[in-house]
Structure 1
Amino acid sequence: MSFAPLAAAIIACTAPSVHDGDTLRCGAERIRLFGVDAPEVRRGSTPAEPFAYEARDELLRLTRGRVGCRPVDRDRYGRTVAKCWSSASPDINAALIRSGYATEYRRYSKGLYAKPEAEAKAAQRGVWAKPAG
Structure 2
Amino acid sequence: MTRYDGHRRTDRRFPLVVALVAAVAFVGMLNAPVTSGAAAPEAGTPGEAAPARFDCDVAAITDGDTLRCADGTRVRLHALAARERDETCSPGHPCPEASGAAATAALRRLAGGQALSCERTGRSYERITAVCWTRAGEEINCAMLRSGTVVVWDRYNRQRPLCGGAAVS
Structure 2: give runs of 5+ residues left out of the alignment: 1-39, 43-47, 89-97
Question: Over aligned residues, Cα RMSD in angstroms?
Answer: 2.5
Which string of whole-angstrom CA distances, capped at 9 and with x for unpartnered residues, describes residues 11-69 of structure 1? 321x4300000000012100000011111111xxxxx2451100000000111332221
Which string of whole-angstrom CA distances, capped at 9 and with x for unpartnered residues, describes residues 98-120 of structure 1? 11100001111128347343xxx
Instruction: Describe how 1:1-133 pairs up with structure 2 within 5 A.
Output: 1-2=40-41, 7-13=51-57, 15-26=58-69, 27-42=71-86, 48-49=87-88, 50-64=98-112, 65-75=114-124, 77-87=125-135, 90-110=138-158, 112-113=161-162, 115-117=167-169
Aligned in 2, Cα 1:25/1:12: closer, same or farther, shift over 3 Å?
same
Q: Is the 8 A contact 1:51 1:101 kept in 2?
A: yes
| TM-score (ref. length: structure 2) | 0.57
- Code of the residue aligned with 1:18 in structure 2: it is I
Higher mean alpha-carbon deviation, 3-12 vs 24-33, is at 3-12
**1:94 Cα deviation from its structure 2 partner:** 0.6
- Code of the residue aligned with 1:103 in structure 2: it is V
Structure 1: give runs of 5+ residues left out of the alignment: 43-47, 118-133
Q: Is the 8 A contact 2:53 2:117 kept in 1?
A: no
In structure 2, C-alpha distance between the alignment counterparts of 1:2 and 1:82, rounded to whole Å: 13
- Code of the residue aligned with 2:51 in structure 1: it is A
Q: Is the 8 A contact 2:65 2:82 kept in 1?
A: yes
Specify the SS of the correspondent of 2:83. coil
In structure 1, C-alpha distance between the alignment counterparts of 2:137 and 2:64, rounded to whole Å: 15
Q: How many pairs were matched up?
A: 110
Counting aligned pairs with the same residue, the percent is 31
In structure 1, C-alpha distance between the alignment counterparts of 2:102 and 2:120, rounded to whole Å: 25
**1:90 Cα deviation from its structure 2 partner:** 1.2
| TM-score (ref. length: structure 1) | 0.70
Aligned in 2, Cα 1:52/1:29: closer, same or farther, shift over 3 Å?
same
